[in-house]
Structure 1
Amino acid sequence: MKKSLVALAALAVAGVASAQSSVTLFGVVDASISGYSNTARDNRATVFPNAFGIPVYLNQGSVKTSRRELANSGYNSSRIGFRGTEDLGGGLAASFWLEAPISNDDGQQGIATFARRSTVSLSGGFGEVRLGRDYTPTFWNDTVFDPFGTNGVGTNLVSTANTAFGGFGTPAASTGAFTNVGSSNYVRASNSIGYFLPPNLGGFYGQVQYALAEKTKYDSGIFTPNVLNSQRQGRYIGGRFGYANGPLDVALAYGSSTVGDDYYVGTTTKVNTLNLGASYDFGPVKLFGEVSKAKNKIDYEVTPLAGGRPDIDLTGYLLGVTVPVGAGLIRASWSHVKLDQNLPNNPFALNTPDPKANKIALGYVHNLSKRTALYATIARVSNKNGAGYTVGG
């Protein structure tokens, strides 16, 4: 559970270099005083020996942990960036976008890495072609249709669970506190080629993205090193298509991220994600919803006699609402996730139910100006059957 009250300040400064080009400095500084509390309870009863020789089980009781800290990015992600556009004539424009994460609570991370976004693009009547590190199509639905925008402790469980579900993490860890750009394709993908539809399609929008694994291939293949995750890990392909007109916004997204491979065993591990999100603004209230399905699967070049490892499924749901109140905004959401390992039932053992969790979040934002706001958020996660999701911290 977390309660936080903080002032959010965003500063954007634009400078025009010429009539045909512009460069903009932009950013957000977000700080919160945060508190977290987690309690784990053993709900199984103590079992004593009996005539059948059942071993003793002693109830483990409960343990509680808590933490207080000065955090960042509780309402909006702290960041600083530079973006620019040059008019090339004939309806064409060239653009760049460099955006760095900031840990303003301790100052450890600043303009040392553009891990949030690092792209260059060409746009025109055909749409936009974008190259570099960027958001994945499948992440957009998780954040756009979340009243909390996947920021702070209000972040929906669909996002929290997928963050862990799609990680691969084989590349060397980043230095110090710098964001590791080689451990997941869930939120962003590096080395990507993206295409965006033009904005004049009567409310229809869409994008496709392909991210290169950047692995070395050997010809002949017998010279391939016997090293895990050396051939395909890191590759991503996905797309998102939607319709936004008036109060309605709805979008469907699909993506496949290669999270592991073993060349000599002949396996490729992928996380395939399909999600559908929508929002409708009634005026007094705005409703949000999302359904998400993710599958961690192993493709076998030669299927083992035992059938191989079963697929692991992650199912998530999200319902949310925002209510404008004067200069403020009330935000609330409920989210649910369930993890299914598809293990066969064993009639001679106690089968563990599938891990699952529910989360409720409630928040209020009070706008002091167009750039500054105060906010407070409280959230609670209830885990069952071994699930271990938290609100953060």
Structure 2
Amino acid sequence: MKKSLVALASLAVAGAASAQSSVTVFGVLDAAISGYKNQSETPFGVSVTKTATALTSSGYNSSRLGFRGTEDLGGGLAAGFWLETGMTNDNGNGAATGGGLNFNRRSTVSLSGNFGEVRLGKDFSPTFWNDTVFDPFGANGVGTNLITTASGGAALGVPNSGFQSNPNYVRSVNSVGYFLPPNLGGFYGQFMYAFNEQVSYDPGGLTPPGAAAIVANPALALTPNNARTGRYFGGRVGYANGPLDVALAYAESTIGSNYYVGTTTTLDTLNLGASYDFGIAKLFSEYSNNKQKTAYATNAFNPFGTTKPGANGGVFGVTVPVGVGVIRASYSAVKYNNLPVGFFASQPKADQFAIGYVYNLSKRTALYTTFAYINDKGGAALGVTGSPTFYTGTIPGGAGNAVPNKSMGYDLGIRHAF
């Protein structure tokens, strides 16, 4: 009888504990057959084409495996965690390092209540949300808008400009984030600060390679120390009610520094996006203004002034439900400005058209296809997501140097969520 009572008590305690907390395993597997074609052309009309066909992943949604959970702490408080790793299921590789999972997408622990939510760890940057939420293709596959493509890396766009490689573009590590509570009549907001976790010196003359070494070899003064690199702060505020969603975001990300010389380079991003669902169609739009700022301290190594090469971008899109499926289409463009080009040369720019269709076999499984076409001008080298780099070498026979001209690609795939 006592054993029975103990067993019943144990079950009751276990039941109470499970009612106070929950853990969910979730994921997405997305695979597609993708084709790419990038063309470069010389001033004499001679073209060089690079093509590729591959089995890829994440053409519609990003493939991932995740674990999330919450614990009710009472009094309206809750603790939570979120661990998520990306996967390339086309070749069976995950984000594994050292025999364990690398949670390279999101890795946060949080505390939430009536005040909102505080998250610590690696999480989406506020400014990236507008680039993906207000894109009909959600920043996945060949249809990804040019703002996202140009911000993905220097090899994809124009180095030393408003759009270039930025370690804090999609997600920020070492971050502290705050989210407004969800009961504000449709208003929402997110604010984030990410620590750079670099070492700085005071006085600055002790910063490696050190003042004595610089005096002996002035060229060492040009060696970046990057004592400020990695810092990020930004925020996003918006309003969502019924068919309308609109949001404004701003961020400053430090991408380079030379602490002793006194230069700091940041990427400043300001974007505004909106969507409206009319029922028969949902419209999307976004504008992004970006500047690279290199601030010079006043010392023997630097002149006065700040350089501000920049870039602007825009997205216009639509989704149209058709039966159990949906048609997606978008137009996006980027234009660089204040770059040091020749007197007769124009600033680099590019535009892209994308169209696709998603057929939902169920709530979890969908078939999809997407086609995208990019036109590059003035030295821009933007290719559809996943495409090979452009050929930019000299063509034998006096044909001249090849310049990126156009890019196109398609995805044909299946997505399953669990």
Is TM (by shorter chain) over 0.5?
A: yes
Aligned to 2:251: 255
* Secondary structure at 2:307 match in 1: coil
Q: TM-score when scaled to structure 2?
A: 0.79
Q: Tell me, in whole angstroms, the C-alpha distance in 1 between the residues paired with 2:225 and 2:61.
A: 35
Tell me, yes or no, if structure 1 residue 85 matches structure 2 residue 43: no
Match of 1:324 in 2: 321
Matching residue within 67, 71, 74 for 2:52: 67
Residue 235 (structure 1) aligned to one of 221, 231, 238 = 231
Partner in structure 2 of residue 383 of structure 1: 376
CA contact (8 A) 1:260 1:270 kept: yes
**Which residue of structure 1 aligns with residue 349 of structure 2?**
356
Normalising by structure 1, we get a TM-score of 0.84
| AA of the residue aligned to 1:135 | F
CA distance in 1, matches of 2:260, 2:151: 29
The aligned counterpart of 2:30 is 30
**CA offsets per residue over residues 351-393 of structure 1, 9 Å max, x none?**
3210000000000000000100000000000000111001122
1:33-87 Cα offsets, whole Å, 9 max, x none, are: 0100111122x3xxxxxxxxxxxxxx36110110000000000000001001000
Task: Find the aligned partners of 1:350 and 1:199 in 2 and give their Cα distance.
Answer: 53
Find the structure with the greater CA-based Rg: 2
Q: For the residues of structure 1 that align with 2:92 and 2:166, how far apart are their CA atoms?
A: 23
Amino acid at match of 1:204: F
1:296 aligns with one of 265, 274, 292: 292
Counterpart CA distance in 2 for 1:365 and 1:391 is 19
Equivalent residue for 1:19? 19
Q: Secondary structure at the match of 2:260?
A: coil
Structure 1: how far apart are the matches of 2:108 and 2:356?
A: 33
Distance 1:309 1:200, change over 3 A: closer
The code of the aligned residue for 1:188 comes to R
Q: CA deviation at 1:163?
A: 2.1
Q: SS of the residue aligned with 2:61?
A: coil
Match of 1:273 in 2: 269
Q: In structure 1, how many angstroms separate the alpha carbons of the residues matched to 2:166 and 2:264?
A: 17
Measure the CA separation in 1 of the matches of 2:50 and 2:154: 24
For 1:138 and 1:365, locate their aligned partners in 2 and report how far apart those are by CA, in whole Å. 27
Which residue matches 1:340?
A: 337
Aligned residues: 346
Aligned to 2:312: 315
| Larger helix percent | 2
After TM superposition, the structure 1 stretch with the greater mean CA deviation from structure 2, 249-258 or 302-311, is 302-311
Structure 1 alignment gaps of length 5 or more: 1-15, 45-58, 168-181
Partner of 1:115: 104
Q: CA deviation at 1:309?
A: 6.7
The answer as to 2:152 corresponding to 1:156 is no
CA contact (8 A) 2:311 2:337 kept: yes
* Partner Cα separation in structure 1 for residue 240 and residue 205 of structure 2: 51
Deviation at 1:17, TM superposition (A): 6.7
Native 8 Å contact 1:166 1:186 kept in 2: no
Separation in structure 2 between the aligned mates of residue 288 and residue 91 of structure 1, nearest angstrom: 36
Retained in 1: the 8 A contact 2:297–2:304? no
Deviation sequence 1:113-138 (CA, Å, 0-9, x none): 11100000000000000000000000
Identify the match of residue 127 of structure 1 among 108, 116, 127.
116
Partner of 1:102 in structure 2?
87
CA, structure 1 residues 310+219, in 2 after alignment: closer, same or farther (shift >3 Å)?
closer
The question of whether the paired residues in 2 share the 8 Å contact of 1:141 and 1:251 is answered with yes
Identity %: 60
Unaligned 5+ segments in structure 2 are 1-15, 157-164, 210-222, 387-418
Tell me the C-alpha RMSD between the 2 structures.
2.2
Distance 1:122 1:305 in 2: 45
Higher RCO, 1 vs 2 (CA within 8 Å, ≥6 residues apart): 2
Task: Report the Cα distance in structure 2 between the residues aligned to 1:166 and 1:341, rounded to whole angstroms.
Answer: 19
Alpha-carbon distance in 2 for matches of 1:272, 1:155: 22
